[in-house]
Structure 1
Amino acid sequence: MNSKPKPSDGSRVARSDVLASPNRLGVRLKLARQTKEMTLKNLAASAGCSESLLSKIENGKASPSLPMLHRLVEALGTNIGRMFEEVDGEEGIVFRAGQRPFITLDPLRQGEGITLERVIPYSVGHLLQCNIHHIDAGGSSAGPIQHVGEEVGYVVAGEVELIVDDLSFRLFEGDSFAFQSGRPHHYRNAGTGRASIFWVNTPPTF
């Protein structure tokens, strides 16, 4: 009987990783801004960044941090999933191991080391959003982040520190968590190897 590689297998991530192109992200952000008839100045003010930085992001010359991307899509009335929209798998039901897309929001940024494996590729028909967050040793999410919704996670591998409000939790393989997304939250790899979290949230925000 053939054994299947674990989702947290670092070699699988290295082979299958599809980086989120800054050019593609920039084009989609610009299109969303123009559709909303917003100027660079207005969107930059809403997202709390400079016009020059926003221009660089739209032109693929810079990548936003995760908190900034949250603010941008919120101001645009959309979500992060639409910025990285993927085609569904077999009838939108089955997503094969090794064929799920991986995205990295900012592969050149030092100290983050987070890759999202899409368990459910983005679709307007989904009420849930589900990713496996693969976190390299020393990696951490930019944050804290707040948004509408609820989320639940399960530590598949490694050791993670989860911070919600001013509370810090050390989580290990097999531990789980749940909280309202409006509470400020972020996380980091607290171990020496790759960590992976199976993470579900609703409504879709990533």
Structure 2
Amino acid sequence: MKIDIQPTQLGTEDRPSEANQGRLGIRLRLARQTLGMTLKALATAVDCSESLLSKIENGKASPSLPMLHRLVEVLGTNIGWMFEETDGEEGIVFRAGTRPLIGLDPLRRGEGISLERIIPYSPGHLLQCNIHHIEPGGESAGPIQHAGEEVGYMLAGSIELMVGEKTFKLSVGDSFVFKSELPHWYRNVGTTRASIFWVNTPATF
């Protein structure tokens, strides 16, 4: 997935800030070097090519969400730290129009999905909260599984949510909760953009 970070309001399509695009690569390289790991050793540990990992560290490519989970597990960190930001007004209020948007690369799985951050990535938060915007035909990378719990509320559109071996069709006003250890992914099965208010704990992404 390609990580594009930009201020946004719901439904806007502003271009990403170039100053923030390399944050993931810089943090990834720092975490690897702190552990004294070579590029080759980390690539082997997370089952990816050394050339891809090099591109990620240099801001020329980004990992899929499942690969990102493998990276932080091997490095002993968390995804929140990879994107840690300064809190808003006293770390309490985050104004409309200032929330960054993470766009997923359309050339990889995760096509047509963007994540609008409701609160910033910070070690001070026990929760991670985003609005997932999914274009028609878009689907998340996965299935993925990790520690924690997921809660969501459908704001717009309709999706199929797969949790474990079960599939659920959700539309506006529906909500859900499940343990993150269960394999899960979702896709937009409607003809319009779907939006999900999504909270998970602990804060991993």
- Structure with the higher fraction of residues in strand conformation: 2
Cα separation, 1, equivalents of 2:82 and 2:127? 16
- Give the equivalent residue in structure 1 for 2:74: 75
Match of 1:101, SS? strand
Cα separation, 2, equivalents of 1:20 and 1:109? 23
Match of 2:98, SS? coil
CA contact (8 A) 2:84 2:123 kept: no
CA contact (8 A) 2:26 2:57 kept: yes
- Give the equivalent residue in structure 2 for 1:89: 88
- Are residue 99 (structure 1) and residue 118 (structure 2) matched? no
- Offset at residue 17 of structure 1 (A): 5.7
Cα separation, 1, equivalents of 2:29 and 2:129? 26
CA distance 1:189–1:164, shift in 2 (3 Å): same
- Offset at residue 45 of structure 1 (A): 2.0
CA distance 1:135–1:92, shift in 2 (3 Å): same
Q: TM-score, normalised by structure 1?
A: 0.88
Q: For structure 1, list consecutive stretches of 5 or more residues without a partner in the other structure.
A: 1-6
Cα separation, 2, equivalents of 1:20 and 1:72? 23
Q: CA RMSD in A?
A: 2.1
Tell me the alpha carbon deviations over residues 51-82 of structure 1, each in whole angstroms, 9 at most, x when there is no partner: 22211211222221111111111111122222
Q: Percent identity?
A: 72
- Offset at residue 187 of structure 1 (A): 0.6
- Give the equivalent residue in structure 2 for 1:162: 161
Length, aligned pairs only: 198
Match of 2:142, SS? coil
Tell me the alpha carbon deviations over residues 59-110 of structure 1, each in whole angstroms, 9 at most, x when there is no partner: 2222211111111111111222222222111100011111111112436547
Tell me the alpha carbon deviations over residues 107-162 of structure 1, each in whole angstroms, 9 at most, x when there is no partner: 65476111111111111111111111111111111101011111111111110111
- Are residue 32 (structure 1) and residue 24 (structure 2) matched? no
- Offset at residue 26 of structure 1 (A): 1.3
The answer to which of 91-100 and 50-59 deviates more is 50-59
CA contact (8 A) 1:152 1:201 kept: yes
CA contact (8 A) 1:141 1:188 kept: yes
Cα separation, 1, equivalents of 2:186 and 2:9? 17
Q: For structure 2, list consecutive stretches of 5 or more residues without a partner in the other structure.
A: 1-7
- Give the equivalent residue in structure 2 for 1:196: 195
Match of 2:154, SS? strand
Cα separation, 2, equivalents of 1:167 and 1:18? 39
Q: Which amino acid aligns with 1:142?
A: A
Q: Which amino acid aligns with 2:43?
A: A
Match of 2:99, SS? coil
Q: Which amino acid aligns with 1:87?
A: T
Match of 1:156, SS? strand
CA distance 1:71–1:105, shift in 2 (3 Å): farther
CA contact (8 A) 1:8 1:195 kept: no
Cα separation, 2, equivalents of 1:187 and 1:55? 30
User: What are the equivalent positions in structure 2 for 1:169-184 lying under 5 Å apart?
Assistant: 169-184=168-183
Match of 1:54, SS? helix
